[in-house]
Amino acid sequence: MGAFDVRDLIKADSTGPASAGGASEGTRTFHPLAERIAAMPVKQTLSPVLIEGLVRLADMLVILGVGGLVFAFYVAGKVDYALPYQVTVPLVAVGALAVFQALHLYHVSALRNFIGIAVRVAAGWTILFLLALAGFFFLKVGDQVSRVWLAAFYAVGLVLLLAERLTASLIVLRLTRMGRLERRTAIVGGGPAGEELIKALEAQRDTGLRVCGVFDDRNDDRSPDLVAGYPKLGTIDDLVEFARRTKLDLVIFTLPISAEARLLAMLRKLWVLPIDIRLSAHMSKLRFRPRSYSYIGAVPVLDVFDRPIADWDIVVKWVFDKVVGTLALIALSPLMIATAIAVRLDSKGPILFRQKRYGFNNEMIEVLKFRSLYHDMSDFAAAKQVTKDDPRVTRVGRFIRKTSIDELPQLLNVVFKGNLSLVGPRPHAIHATASNRAYEQVVDGYFARHKVKPGITGWAQVHGWRGETDTEDKIQRRVEHDLYYIENWSVLLDLYILIKTPFSLMTKNENAY
């Protein structure tokens, strides 16, 4: 979406306010400004936590590298004991992280101001070496450490740390101008409370928030069309679709805690989204312990929902998928080649079957499978589920569906397309039904399973909830397992599910036809 100010759009908008209500899902008519904002190209935002972590890693590598290289070029071969150096360098690296953290040198807002952080980096680095000298003195090991090495370590280290921070500052400033560090935010609740919250947020420096608009279910005088200069773009129902299309990062409620019923009704609609949800506390008379709050600048908020698998977890899961997925693709390639040949020989038609399914954040993705139905009977919309002894299934198809070999081409989705994960909720066909009812009509909060990237296998599949979902109970239990996975994700859980999957395919396949 890039950097923009909604208030500038208001000035340019000549259409005037419009009703945000709509007739039904998929035909909802948005406020004209909401349509314009949603139509803007959306750039993937970067997590400040991720950037701060990368800077910490860069600091660590610079310090370890400088200490090691100075030792290798000047000290190595001239001393009998390298232990003091081997201990000092890692301790200085760890100490630098602690000192720099205490000096607030890792916050993204600090990285935007190189002059300010350069002074603090030099001060922190100097303090650290003074502490090291004091440690050498009290431990009586000063004569075991070369003064030239120590001076070179200090001087070269300071120069390279400043060069690294200059590079980081230039990168952060460029990302800021590109709008890659902003947190796209919507405010829920108009009136005085919403206006006060927006003013409080705007008074903060370098929060990275970009307010996209205000949403409120009320249509009376308590909720005007403009709140602190920002337009009211619609109701909570509109916000759900708006958030998906604009990839919102944050929603802040201004409702008082006393409005419990209204708040819960809204949260039931929004918790299916992969976003952070906060409750504003800056005007609340009810005060909790300071640790109960998180802060946007100096504005206190209460955490209601957090986006699952965020920040470094995204990186860890991405690396896990690429590494393990590539190894699996290599290891299973003979089986995939044999299956492709069998499918080709068994019946006419393409080897692979492509189908549109729901992916992360309800986005449409195309998944690959080995074709298991006769080509002239293929059901791209999944209007009718495959049942036991279904005449549409080929001879080879019956075997590969029972063993889930037909799913193996989805490793290509994982490794090359990146729209699937190895482990996650299974992507369902767009028109899939249970008892002739759409899944989202059967299960309350069904779309919450799309808060993470879908997977080839998952927690539901290893517990036997795979294959046909001909009853409402089956899809209910599958979604319950999917939500458990989302709330309890870890790399170890992914690894456990991958290890257990082959055994589950052999012992829990009664619903797979």
Spatial CA neighbour of 175 closest among 276, 37, 47, 53: 47
> What's the average model confidence in pLDDT over 190-209?
84
Cα 171 from chain centroid (whole Å): 21
Residues with Cβ within 8 Å of residue 304, at least 6 apart in sequence: 253, 267, 277, 278, 279
- Residue 212: its pLDDT value, please? 87
- Alpha-carbon separation of residue 131 from 88, 161, 232, 482 (angstroms): 12, 19, 56, 52
- Residue 370: its pLDDT value, please? 94
pLDDT interval class at 73 (50, 70, 90)? confident
* Contact yes or no for 325/453 (Cβ under 8 A): no
Question: Which pLDDT tens digit goes with each residue over 486-495?
Answer: 999 999 999 9
- Residue 15: its pLDDT value, please? 47
The 209-215 sheet, strands edge to edge = 226-227, 230-234, 209-215, 183-188, 250-253, 276-280, 299-305, 294-296
Q: Is the pLDDT of residue 252 over 80?
A: yes
Question: Which pLDDT tens digit goes with each residue over 35-70?
Answer: 777 777 777 788 888 999 999 999 999 999 999 898
- 504 burial level (CB within 10 Å; 0-12, 13-18, 19+): middle
pLDDT interval class at 267 (50, 70, 90)? confident
pLDDT interval class at 377 (50, 70, 90)? confident
CA pair distance 55, 117, nearest whole angstrom: 13
Q: Which CATH superfamily is domain 182-307 in?
A: NAD(P)-binding Rossmann-like Domain (3.40.50.720)
* Contact yes or no for 32/18 (Cβ under 8 A): yes
Of 119-133, 196-210, 392-406, where does mean pLDDT reach its minimum? 196-210
> What's the average model confidence in pLDDT over 153-160?
95
What 3-state class would DSSP assign to 161? Answer: helix
Q: Is the pLDDT of residue 451 over 60?
A: yes
Amino acid at 446: Y
Q: Is the pLDDT of residue 27 over 50?
A: no
Cα 426 from chain centroid (whole Å): 18
How much is the pTM? 0.81
Q: Is the pLDDT of residue 436 over 80?
A: no
Of 178-192, 333-347, 477-491, where does mean pLDDT reach its minimum? 178-192
Q: What percent of the chain has pLDDT over 70?
A: 86
Where do the domains of the chain lie?
48-178, 182-307, 312-506
CA pair distance 316, 460, nearest whole angstrom: 22
- Residue 466: its pLDDT value, please? 77
| Beta-bridge partners for 267 | none
| Beta-bridge partners for 209 | 183
CA pair distance 390, 513, nearest whole angstrom: 8
Q: What percent of the chain has pLDDT over 90?
A: 38
Residues with Cβ within 8 Å of residue 438, at least 6 apart in sequence: 431, 432
Length of the chain equals 513
Give the phi and the psi of residue 183 in degrees, each rounded to 5: -105, 110
CA pair distance 407, 458, nearest whole angstrom: 13
Question: Which pLDDT tens digit goes with each residue over 275-326?
Answer: 999 988 876 655 666 666 788 888 888 888 899 998 899 999 999 999 999 9
- Residue 79: its pLDDT value, please? 67
Q: What is the mean pLDDT of the chain?
A: 84
Of 92-106, 267-281, 329-343, where does mean pLDDT reach its minimum? 267-281
Long-range contacts (CB closer than 8 Å, 24 or more residues apart) made by 49-52: 49/310, 49/311, 49/312, 50/311, 50/312, 50/314, 50/315, 51/108, 51/111, 51/172, 51/175, 51/181, 52/106, 52/107, 52/108
> What's the average model confidence in pLDDT over 429-442?
76
Task: Give, in degrees to the nearest 5, the angle at Cα 93 between 91 and 98.
Answer: 90
Task: Give, in degrees to the nearest 5, the angle at Cα 129 between 125 and 135.
Answer: 145
pLDDT interval class at 235 (50, 70, 90)? confident
Q: Is the pLDDT of residue 513 over 60?
A: no
- Residue 455: its pLDDT value, please? 95
280 vs 378, which has greater pLDDT?
Answer: 280
Q: Is the pLDDT of residue 399 over 80?
A: yes
What 3-state class would DSSP assign to 423? Answer: strand
> What's the average model confidence in pLDDT over 6-19?
55
Q: Is the pLDDT of residue 13 over 60?
A: no
